[in-house]
Amino acid sequence: MSQTQDQSNAQQRGISYARDLEGHLAWLETFSGTALGVLAVASGIYTYLGVSSLLDDNGAMSAFAAIAYSVAVSVGIFVFWSYMLRLFPAVRGARARAGLLGAMGLGSVAIIAMSSWLNAAALAGSAAVEQHLAETVQDYQGSLERAHEIAISAQGLERDVARVRQSFEDLSEQEATGGLSGMAGRGAVFRVLRQKSSELSGLEAQIATQTPLVEAAFVEGNQILSRMRALTVEPGPVEARSVEFSEQAVRLAGLITQLRQLSVASLVERAAQDLSASVVLPELDGGTVEQRGNQASTITSVLEVLAQRATTLERAAQGVLAMPPPTETTYTPISSADAVIKYARNFVPSWAGAIAIDLLPAVLVFILAITQTAIREGREGTAIEESLTLAELRAAVNAVRDMDMAMRADPVDRPQETSAAPKDTPAHVTPIKST
């Protein structure tokens, strides 16, 4: 008896718990549809802004197309989540729930594909395009600095050329006093040394003329970079700024190419190769055979030194030529939607908000499913009549009474009695006398 009483009390508590939950759900259902509609409309508005940024034409047809797409997205989101809110909590079987869960996942992916990325483009599209401009500025700056570094390194070869030239001039001065061949004056050896020093002097002057051109190109490139940086942060529509940014990028690319062409490393390399290969040997002008022999041997030594100096200068030029060239940088205009996808890692909050506004009803679906499961568990094992509320009981009594009155008011529909029912003899009632 005690066990039965405990079971009855537990069932009563379960019924009371289920009734409380049903009351809460009834109150929540009064505005759930409106809230879902507001979320769908908000997503549609941001989808419209995202679609508008993708369309090149700003005419009436483009506006109508964007509105049609955003309305379709809003309706699709509202209908999809309405289905889920009604059906998923109501099903009980594991297979049915798994199927609806798969359908909800597929629908969520579709919503992200048709709406969420456009919402993100509307929320962070301009910032993403500005991020693209800033990344491009950094690429151009790296290319400009690299081209300038190579050009300056090539200009540094001027010192190597000057050193070799000075060595030949010093040797020629020694030969003028007879320190090399033993013949003072400007003989054959002197002319060979002067010939090569003159060639190197011309190369040195040619390198020197490039220095102001290199510096001017670098200064102008930095000015263009400053303007490009300003365009990335200036107020106003980013589309208009992108047009001027593209023009500045073209100018800067031309300057980088100019800096690469101003490098004299290849010129020095060819000059070094020609330094020992092209030697015009003068006629020996010694008065005696011994003097001419001394001149010949001195010229041979000079040619050996010349070959060594040429090799050193050629290696220095090849070292500059071996430097990695600047990266080829080209500015490519990008739409706000593409920029949001390309730089998604930099705009995680915007992506989270764009996805949440579309997939927030999924949380409501799971809440309803959990609540409906709790209601069914609370009513489990109870008979229908035990779960009737007072209002439901009154409604049932009124329904029975209405049916009985309808039956009495329509005797034609009732079957005829085959025999008269015996009437009970009324009991004798003894009146109560007053005393």
Identify the residue with better confidence: 184 or 205.
205
With 0-12 / 13-18 / 19 or more C-beta atoms within 10 angstroms meaning exposed / middle / buried, residue 112 is middle
pLDDT score, position 8? 62
Q: What is the pLDDT of residue 137?
A: 92
pTM value? 0.66
The predicted-structure confidence for 231-259, as pLDDT tens digits, reads as follows 888 888 888 888 889 999 999 999 999 88
CA proximity to 194, closest of 173, 217, 177, 224: 173
Range 363-375 average pLDDT: 88
What is the C-alpha to C-alpha distance for residues 372 and 376, in angstroms, rounded to an integer? 6
Q: Is 295 exposed, middle or buried (0-12, 13-18, 19+ CB in 10 A)?
A: buried
- Tokens 């003068």 belong to 282
Is the pLDDT at 101 greater than 80, yes or no?
yes
* Contact call for residues 37 and 394 (beta carbons, < 8 A): no
**CB count in 10 Å sphere of residue 252:** 25
How many Cβ atoms from other residues are within 10 Å of residue 292's Cβ?
Answer: 18
pLDDT of the residue at 429 = 42
Domains of the chain with bracketed CATH: 2-126+346-383 (no CATH), 128-335 (1.20.1260)
pLDDT band at residue 27 using 50, 70 and 90 as cut-offs: confident
CA 396 to chain centroid, in Å, comes to 64
CA angle 198, 204, 207 (to 5 degrees): 145
Contacts of 119 (CB under 8 A, 6+ apart): 43, 46, 47, 50, 353, 354, 355, 357, 358
